[in-house]
Chain A
Amino acid sequence: SQTIHQWPATLVQPVGSPLSLECTVEGTSNPNLYWYRQAAGRGLQLLFYSVGIGQISSEVPQNLSASRPQDRQFILSSKKLLLSDSGFYLCASLTGGRGTGELFFGEGSRLTVL
């Protein structure tokens, strides 16, 4: 089965600083990849998704960006963090597992912006 690696697991950043969260996928190829954010412990907000290398779809206008430089690598970035960027960031991968498609999630990256 798939394994989703995310790092860093936890980080504390000052307002206005840059951000880079990385996600890599093992055990599959050509996945659809997703970045979700979860604030206050509830609700998964879709930020970006990608169906292939270099293909990024943005769901929420904000100061975040995403890139997919390789098939199994997905990066979330920001040039200047805002307080509202604090939250739990989850990377997910979707392939045709079990013949119908199942989202596999990483363990998440918890970001605190001070």
Chain B
Amino acid sequence: LAKTTQPISMDSYEGQEVNITCSHNNIATNDYITWYQQFPSQGPRFIIQGYKTKVTNEVASLFIPADRKSSTLSLPRVSLSDTAVYYCLVGALYNQGGKLIFGQGTELSVKP
């Protein structure tokens, strides 16, 4: 089971690009990389998912190098509302079942 390591916290200012990197050295062939965002007293919410190379959606980009041992979530032009905890989750697809274990997450603080 792939263990993930992220920075505990990060600070940024409004309008900046924020990059959060997650290490997952023992990622398995069938594992996907998914990032979630959590606000206080709420359940985490899906941001983006990828397997390799680069994935982009309307809110973020996900960069995954060829060896897949790390991934970087990129948030363009953050605002105060992006202040939250961000989790990197590595695990297999639904039809392969199994446990999904979150790391400690990165607490992002966006300042004006």
Contacts and interface: CB of A to CB of B under 8 A. Distances in A.
Contact of A32 (B41, B51, B94): B94
B45 A42 contact: no
A49 B51 CA distance: 23
Nearest to A93: B94
Interface in A26-62: 32, 34, 36, 41-44, 46, 49, 51, 57, 59
Interface in A71-114: 88, 90, 92, 94-96, 98, 100-108, 110
Contact of B44 (A41, A57, A103): A103
Contact of A44 (B32, B44, B93): B44
Bin chain B's interface residue count: 20 to 34
Given A100-B93, A103-B46, A42 B41 contact: no
A103 B49 contact: no
A100 B48 CA distance: 11
Given A100-B93, A103-B44, A42 B100 contact: no
Contacts, number: 71
Bin chain A's interface residue count: 20 to 34
Given A42-B107, A44-B87, A49-B99, A101 B94 contact: yes
Contact of A34 (B41, B49, B93, B100): B100
Nearest to B91: A101
Nearest to B107: A42
Contacts of A102: 34, 46, 49
Interface of A: 4, 32, 34, 36, 41-44, 46, 49, 51, 57, 59, 88, 90, 92, 94-96, 98, 100-108, 110
